[in-house]
């Protein structure tokens, strides 16, 4: 520590020498206040965690996050802009596609392109499609035509299998041109044309498909509802006291203020792109579901006439109880529309069940009975994290009590007025 | 503070390879912990905020530039932001007569029981009644040994404002200690 020098400049602000002397004394007192040392175990533990983090790939990737996000952002803009063009110019797109097909057909019928070798031979003998370009051009075209017309939407693995078994289903070359002139709207459209690397021309036709008017979420396909017969009685909360010595605490204040995180890899003005994993992580974390490395996260983006929607599936890797899969339905600009969870049969029939938002569920905390060591103790709890799990609640029906397992939000919080003690609060999450 | 040139080398290495962050951590951990603890006066909270500070420092070390501030200033700025965020998120920690907050570190670290005398307890209570900026200025100047110019960078104020903060902070502290009135915010 360098030697302490009294700031002469502060003296200039003093009205008298006595005042300056008084302030100097206080400064000396502050100066002599012994420093606080952290426990060596904490220091070592934090160091180990930091070094582990530093050596992990994630940390190295932090620098690249921004660039990656910019690429994603550009892709997103391109996707949206392209979609808008297609929406605005469907006729143009259709005409352009038909024109391309007609031109190919004319070239083919005039013999400018040599008829290809039998597709079966070409396919089995020479799977590398870069050789003998003109022939392969036609062959690829024929293959893509086959996939457009004959193959119903199939699993990617299945399609791969058919490709690898040769091209026996491909129509003879002579039959191909008339079929190519089929109007696009009569052509069965593949579910996911972008995944087919061999069909560069024809998938454009599929873009003319009008956007869906509404989103189609996975959770809606097997949506269930809870029917809880009876009233759920929430158990009393004992804070820092044994039940025998507990006294009802009346001055208890609870608040739900989820962490608002700002990813450190971004500047103040940067925003994450809707529908990306970064966006999903930020959305989850800002609503109290703290995303950690290793957590399961799936984000399905879809564009509709009403805008962009995303369905987010999230399940933490580590959890106090059994972690359930949370499903969020979100709309760009509107935020989270609804909460669901995926039930796998432990507490109810498998399916997707609607949930209360954490804020809605937290309102039930108002009905809790609190017990502490003193009734006059002012307790103030602040909850900032939440986990979706199961909890057994007491159900009362016609005077009869029973225990029922329900999805619950486990709120993690701290007491703020006294010792910062942690508390977990389980509240039913089910929407009835 | 580390000698600037040597520190620059260490930081450059850490920027190239975050695995080389350890010397910076070893050197600055006690300082950052001391500052944060005196600001929040709660061991658990201090540990959380210190962790956050170093995680953020590590994650952003590549963005650190030797342009206008030292690494220490940069680190204290992150630490101070953590403290501010924490106070924004929560109701102010209220002082009461149970001394729970002040007793907390002694429970966690037996060594501190010896160091923890009444004078320090009173001083801490009195510090807590000052405004956040006054606390920052006093702690950074008289506990962390930062220069007025450096404090100005951390608090994003000019040097004159820091001098005024120090002056008013010391004056208020004196008043509080003389009057024994620690519960009234300044």
Query: Higher confidence at residue B15 or residue A153?
Result: B15
Per cent of chain A over pLDDT 90 is 14
Taking CB atoms and an 8 Å cut-off, how many pairs form between chains A and B? 148
Q: Flag whether pLDDT at A83 surpasses 50.
A: no
Asked if the Cβ–Cβ distance from B38 to A36 is below 8 Å, we say: yes
Query: Higher confidence at residue A140 or residue B88?
Result: B88
Hey, is the C-beta of A376 within 8 angstroms of any chain B C-beta?
no
Task: Specify the pairing of strand A335-343 against strand A351-355.
Answer: antiparallel
Asked if the Cβ–Cβ distance from A259 to B89 is below 8 Å, we say: yes
DSSP B141: I
Sheet with A247-248: strands ordered across: A237-238, A370-372, A247-248
Interfacial A residues in 287-306 facing B (CB < 8 Å): none
Written as six digits, the tokens of A294 are 């290793």
Task: Yes or no: say if A275 and A242 are a contact pair by the CB < 8 Å rule.
Answer: no
Distances (CA, A) of A329 to A99, A286, A340, A354, B183: 40, 15, 8, 11, 47
Written as six digits, the tokens of A400 are 């009869």
- pLDDT value of position B157: 86
Of the spans A52-61, A223-232, B97-106, which averages the highest pLDDT? Answer: A223-232
pLDDT in tens, A297-308: 999 999 888 889
- pLDDT value of position B4: 67
For A24, counting Cβ atoms within 10 Å of its Cβ (0-12 exposed, 13-18 middle, 19+ buried), the class is middle
Whole-number average pLDDT of chain B: 77
pLDDT class for B136, splitting at 50, 70, 90?
A: very high
Hey, is the C-beta of B84 within 8 angstroms of any chain A C-beta?
no
Question: Which of A57, A268, A420 to mutate to test binding with chain B, by most B CBs within 10 Å of its CB?
Answer: A420
Sequence-separated (6 or more) residues with CB below 8 Å from residue A288: A256, A258, A259, A358, A383, A384, A385, A386, A411
- CA distance to partner chain A, nearest, from residue B183 (Å): 14
- pLDDT value of position A92: 61
- pLDDT value of position A230: 82
Q: Flag whether pLDDT at B35 surpasses 90.
A: yes
Query: Higher confidence at residue A319 or residue A268?
Result: A319
Task: Name the residue among A413, A365, A407 with its Cα closest to residue A385.
Answer: A413
- pLDDT value of position A90: 57
For residue A50, give the nearest of B55, B148, B170 by CB distance: B55
B166 contacts in chain A (CB < 8 Å): 7, 10
d(CA B46, CA A352): 41
Asked if the Cβ–Cβ distance from A51 to B59 is below 8 Å, we say: no
- pLDDT value of position A397: 81
For A353, counting Cβ atoms within 10 Å of its Cβ (0-12 exposed, 13-18 middle, 19+ buried), the class is buried
Report CA dihedral (B136, B140, B142, B148) to the nearest 10 degrees: -100
Interfacial B residues in 1-40 facing A (CB < 8 Å): 18-19, 21-22, 25-26, 29-30, 33-34, 37-38
The predicted model gives A13-22 an average pLDDT of 83
d(CA A345, CA A381): 34
Whole-number average pLDDT of chain A: 69
pLDDT class for A183, splitting at 50, 70, 90?
A: very low
For residue B89, give the nearest of A29, A62, A384 by CB distance: A384
- pLDDT value of position A279: 86
CA nearest to A30 within chain B? B142
> Can you tell me the ipTM of this complex?
0.79
Least confident of A131-135, A295-299, A371-375, B45-49: A131-135
Domains and CATH numbers, chain B: 1-93 (1.10.1740.10), 106-186 (1.10.10.10)
- CA distance to partner chain A, nearest, from residue B173 (Å): 7
Hey, is the C-beta of A420 within 8 angstroms of any chain B C-beta?
yes
Q: Flag whether pLDDT at B92 surpasses 60.
A: no
Interfacial A residues in 226-255 facing B (CB < 8 Å): 255
A51 contacts in chain B (CB < 8 Å): 19, 21-22
Beta carbons within 10 angstroms of residue A209's beta carbon: 12
d(CA A377, CA A371): 10
Asked if the Cβ–Cβ distance from A23 to B171 is below 8 Å, we say: yes
Asked if the Cβ–Cβ distance from B34 to A36 is below 8 Å, we say: yes
d(CA B140, CA B134): 10
The predicted model gives B73-85 an average pLDDT of 90
d(CA A118, CA A113): 15
Asked if the Cβ–Cβ distance from B55 to A13 is below 8 Å, we say: no
The predicted model gives A336-362 an average pLDDT of 91
Written as six digits, the tokens of A94 are 């259709």
- pLDDT value of position A131: 34
B111 contacts in chain A (CB < 8 Å): 37
CA nearest to B174 within chain A? A26
d(CA B49, CA B103): 19
């Amino acid at each position: 520590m360098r030697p302490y020098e009294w700031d002469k400049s502060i003296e200039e602000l003093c009205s008298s020498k006595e005042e300056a002397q008084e302030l100097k004394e206080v400064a000396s007192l502050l100066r002599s206040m012994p420093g606080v040392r952290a426990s060596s175990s904490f220091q070592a533990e934090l160091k180990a965690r930091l070094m582990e983090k530093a050596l992990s790939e994630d940390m190295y990737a932090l620098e690249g996050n921004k660039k990656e996000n910019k690429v994603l952002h550009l892709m997103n803009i391109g996707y949206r802009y392209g979609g808008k063009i297609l929406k605005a110019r469907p006729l143009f797109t259709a005409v352009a596609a038909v024109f391309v097909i007609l031109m190919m057909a004319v070239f083919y019928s005039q013999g400018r392109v040599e008829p290809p070798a039998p597709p079966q031979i070409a396919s089995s003998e020479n799977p590398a499609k870069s050789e003998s370009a003109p022939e392969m051009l036609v062959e690829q075209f024929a293959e893509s035509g086959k996939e457009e017309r004959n193959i119903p939407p199939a699993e990617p693995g299945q399609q791969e299998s058919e490709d690898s078994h040769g091209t026996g289903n491909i129509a003879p070359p002579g039959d191909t041109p008339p079929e190519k002139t089929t109007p696009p709207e009569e052509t069965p459209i593949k579910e996911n044309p972008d995944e087919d690397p061999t069909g560069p021309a024809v998938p454009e036709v599929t873009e003319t498909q009008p956007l869906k008017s509404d989103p189609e979420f996975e959770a809606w396909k097997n949506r269930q509802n809870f029917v809880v017969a009876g009233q759920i009685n929430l158990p009393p909360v004992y804070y820092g006291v044994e039940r025998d010595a507990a006294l009802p605490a009346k001055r208890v204040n609870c608040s739900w203020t989820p962490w608002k995180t700002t990813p450190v890899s971004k500047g103040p003005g940067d925003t994450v792109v809707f529908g990306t994993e970064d966006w999903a992580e930020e959305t989850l974390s800002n609503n109290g579901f703290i995303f950690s490395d290793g957590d399961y996260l799936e984000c399905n983006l879809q564009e509709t006439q009403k805008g962009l929607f995303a369905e987010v599936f999230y399940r933490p890797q580590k959890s106090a109880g059994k972690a359930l899969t949370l499903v969020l339905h979100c709309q760009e600009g509107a935020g989270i529309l609804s909460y669901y969870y995926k039930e796998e049969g432990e507490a109810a029939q498998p399916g997707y069940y609607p949930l209360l938002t954490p804020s809605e569920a937290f309102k039930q905390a108002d009905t809790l009975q609190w017990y502490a060591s003193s009734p006059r103790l002012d307790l103030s709890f602040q909850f900032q994290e939440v986990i979706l799990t199961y909890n057994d609640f007491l159900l009362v029906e016609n005077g009869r009590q029973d225990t029922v397992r329900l999805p619950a939000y486990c709120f993690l919080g701290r007491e703020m007025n006294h010792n910062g003690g942690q508390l977990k609060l389980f509240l039913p999450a089910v929407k009835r | 503070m580390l000698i600037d040139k040597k520190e620059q080398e260490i930081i450059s290495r850490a920027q190239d390879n975050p695995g080389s962050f350890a010397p910076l951590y070893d050197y600055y951990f006690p300082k950052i912990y001391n500052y944060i603890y005196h600001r929040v006066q709660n061991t658990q909270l201090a540990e959380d905020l210190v962790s956050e500070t170093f995680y953020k420092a590590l994650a952003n070390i590549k963005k650190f530039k030797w342009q206008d501030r030292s690494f220490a200033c940069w680190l204290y700025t992150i630490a101070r932001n953590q403290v501010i965020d924490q106070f924004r998120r929560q109701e102010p920690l209220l002082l009461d007569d149970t001394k729970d907050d002040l007793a907390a570190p002694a429970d966690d670290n037996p060594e501190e029981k010896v160091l923890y005398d009444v004078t320090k307890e009173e001083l801490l209570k009195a510090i807590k009644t000052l405004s956040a900026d006054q606390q920052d200025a006093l702690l950074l100047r008289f506990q962390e040994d930062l220069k007025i110019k450096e404090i100005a960078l951390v608090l994003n104020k000019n040097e004159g404002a820091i001098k005024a903060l120090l002056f008013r902070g010391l004056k208020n502290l004196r008043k509080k200690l003389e009057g024994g009135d620690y519960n009234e915010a300044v």
